[in-house]
């Protein structure tokens, strides 16, 4: 089994990025480099161990070297407080280029094609989520609202776009967009405004490929849809009756005149038969008025065949022209947006990344910078599973994340490894997945 270079290449991109971070210190105390602080913090997220650096400092005292040095290239390990102080002034946007490099590595390997969906499109699901909240600690990048008690609640929230595919358990996290007070605006920032900034910043870079954006009903409004089109994106967005009165009035009118097409499919889920019923119509107005964008609407209703119980219903708008032969895959792609919650937010919050944990709030950008490092760690593990044969074999054997990361933490705590491939090979030989040569 060939040793992979992908880990070293990804870490090299990190190092290059961190070396460009500005140093705002004005005094003579510059004992530690900014890059070492950022790489040390990244090591915590990558190993999912809040005690990782403490163990590496002890290892360095005993052996003169540590895994944070051999794996990530840290020359001197700062203390936790020094890391927070050094990283607090760093804007998270300075890290966004590493996300693009990760996607480029996937494209270069041909693996991005495995995420293609209907019409060769790659699906990007966008969803907002909360990361931190406090009634006491706050910074200039916090959103805030008044509670019924009269107290203030300070929060950090972000849009987390991810590449998804129906039937694929892995997601590819892209750069986030933070919902945070904007210069020159008196109103609170919001999810729609944050999504607009993300699309404007990434539209040109992503335009060379075919992307379809997925989202909930919040995004199914004319300004957002027009922005998607201007940036060259398709879209499949949830569309609820209560927020799209004019559209559903038109759908009801067309149905009464027999112009809404329908299709039913039988599906066996392993326990009982389901009836999947589809309805769709092309060319209905998204809102009232002569300037309304014309969209195509579809709906799925799933019922149990044996008792008629309704199990699921949802509806979507898109610009894909709907036909009997494509309505099923388009609805399937629209439903893939649930991966933003299950495969992204849930994994980041409950599967070891501790997304909602306060790793350091800071007085400027620290909370958002730390979150971005955490997302990069999540992305790196996904890329390794896709591009590193040794890592993929390990994860196929250690299916549970808990088992893999428990082993990883234990080994890095007690043993010194020369490099990433040394660590991977040691684990594979120990599990008798490859011969000891």
Read out DSSP for 375-411? HHHHHHHHHHHHH-HHHHHHHHHS-SHHHHHHHHHHH
What is the pLDDT at residue 231?
93
Fold designation for 94-347 = Transposase Inhibitor Protein From Tn5; Chain A, domain 1 (3.90.350)
Given a cut of 50, the residues of the chain with pLDDT beneath it are none
Cα 379 from Cα 160, distance rounded (Å): 12
Residue 340, Cβ density class (10 Å: 0-12 exposed, 13-18 middle, ≥19 buried): buried
Query: Which pair of structure tokens corresponds to residue 107?
Result: 């494209």
pTM above 0.85, yes or no: yes
143: which residues sit within 8 A by CB, 6+ positions away? 154, 155, 156, 157, 179, 180, 181, 188, 189
What is the pLDDT at residue 206?
87
Q: How many CB atoms lie within 10 A of CB 413?
A: 17
Cα 277 from Cα 313, distance rounded (Å): 9
Domain boundaries, given as residue ranges, for the chain: 6-93+358-430, 94-347
Query: Which pair of structure tokens corresponds to residue 226?
Result: 């027009």
Query: Which pair of structure tokens corresponds to residue 350?
Result: 């409950």
Are the beta carbons of 301 and 316 closer than 8 angstroms?
A: no
245: which residues sit within 8 A by CB, 6+ positions away? none
Cα 329 from Cα 322, distance rounded (Å): 10
Cα–Cα–Cα angle for 178, 14, 71, rounded to 5 degrees? 130
What is the pLDDT at residue 8?
96
What is the pLDDT at residue 243?
96
Are the beta carbons of 310 and 357 closer than 8 angstroms?
A: no
Query: Which pair of structure tokens corresponds to residue 157?
Result: 């929230």
What is the pLDDT at residue 363?
92
What is the pLDDT at residue 184?
61
Cα 367 from Cα 132, distance rounded (Å): 8
Q: How many CB atoms lie within 10 A of CB 114?
A: 12
Rounded to 5 degrees, φ, ψ at 283 are 75, 55
Cα 166 from Cα 338, distance rounded (Å): 10
Are the beta carbons of 119 and 113 closer than 8 angstroms?
A: no
Query: Which pair of structure tokens corresponds to residue 207?
Result: 């335009």
Cα 377 from Cα 364, distance rounded (Å): 22
Residue 173 region, left (φ>0) first, then alpha (ψ -120 to 50), else beta?
A: beta
Label the pairing between strands 211-215 and 234-238: parallel
Are the beta carbons of 203 and 231 closer than 8 angstroms?
A: yes
Cα 112 from Cα 76, distance rounded (Å): 37
**Residue located via tokens 């954006």:** 213
């Amino acid at each position: 089994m060939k040793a992979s270079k992908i880990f070293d290449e990804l870490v090299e991109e990190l190092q290059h990025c961190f070396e460009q971070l500005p140093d705002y210190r004005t005094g003579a105390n510059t004992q530690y480099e900014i890059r070492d602080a950022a790489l040390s913090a990244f090591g915590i997220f990558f190993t999912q161990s809040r005690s990782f650096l403490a163990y590496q400092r002890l290892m360095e005292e005993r052996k003169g070297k540590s895994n944070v040095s051999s794996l990530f290239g840290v020359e001197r390990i700062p203390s936790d407080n020094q890391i927070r102080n050094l990283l607090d002034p760093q804007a998270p946007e300075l890290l966004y280029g590493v996300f693009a490099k990760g996607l480029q590595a996937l494209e270069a390997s041909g693996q991005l094609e495995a995420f293609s969906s209907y019409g060769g499109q790659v699906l990007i699901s966008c969803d907002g989520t909360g990361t931190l909240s406090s009634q006491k600690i706050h910074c200039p990048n916090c959103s805030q609202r008044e509670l019924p008690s009269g107290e203030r609640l300070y929060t950090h929230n972000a849009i987390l776009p991810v590449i998804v595919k129906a039937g694929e358990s892995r997601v590819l996290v892209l750069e986030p967009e933070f919902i945070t007070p904007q210069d020159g605006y008196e109103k609170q920032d919001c999810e729609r405004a944050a999504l607009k900034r993300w699309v404007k910043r990434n539209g040109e870079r992503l335009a060379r490929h075919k992307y379809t954006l997925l989202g909930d009903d919040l995004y199914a409004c004319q300004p957002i849809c027009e922005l998607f089109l201007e940036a060259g994106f398709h879209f499949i967005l949830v569309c609820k009756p209560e927020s799209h009165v004019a559209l559903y009035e038109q759908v009801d009118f067309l149905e009464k005149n027999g112009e809404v097409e329908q299709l039913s499919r039988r599906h066996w889920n392993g326990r009982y038969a389901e009836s999947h019923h589809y309805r769709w119509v092309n060319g209905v107005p998204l809102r009232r008025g002569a300037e309304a964008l014309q969209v195509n609407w579809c709906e799925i209703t799933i019922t149990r065949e044996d008792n008629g119980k309704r199990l699921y219903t949802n509806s979507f708008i898109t610009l894909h022209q709907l036909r009997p032969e494509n309505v099923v895959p388009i609805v399937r792609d629209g439903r893939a947006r649930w991966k933003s919650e299950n495969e992204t937010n849930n994994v980041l919050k409950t599967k070891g990344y501790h997304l909602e944990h306060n790793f350091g709030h800071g007085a400027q950008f620290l909370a958002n910078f730390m979150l971005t490092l955490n997302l990069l760690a999540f992305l790196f593990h996904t890329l390794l599973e896709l591009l590193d044969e040794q890592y993929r074999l390990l994860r196929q054997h250690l299916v549970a994340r808990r088992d893999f990361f428990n082993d990883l933490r234990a080994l890095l705590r007690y043993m010194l490894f020369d490099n990433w491939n040394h660590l991977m090979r040691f684990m594979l030989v120990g599990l008798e997945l490859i011969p000891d040569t």
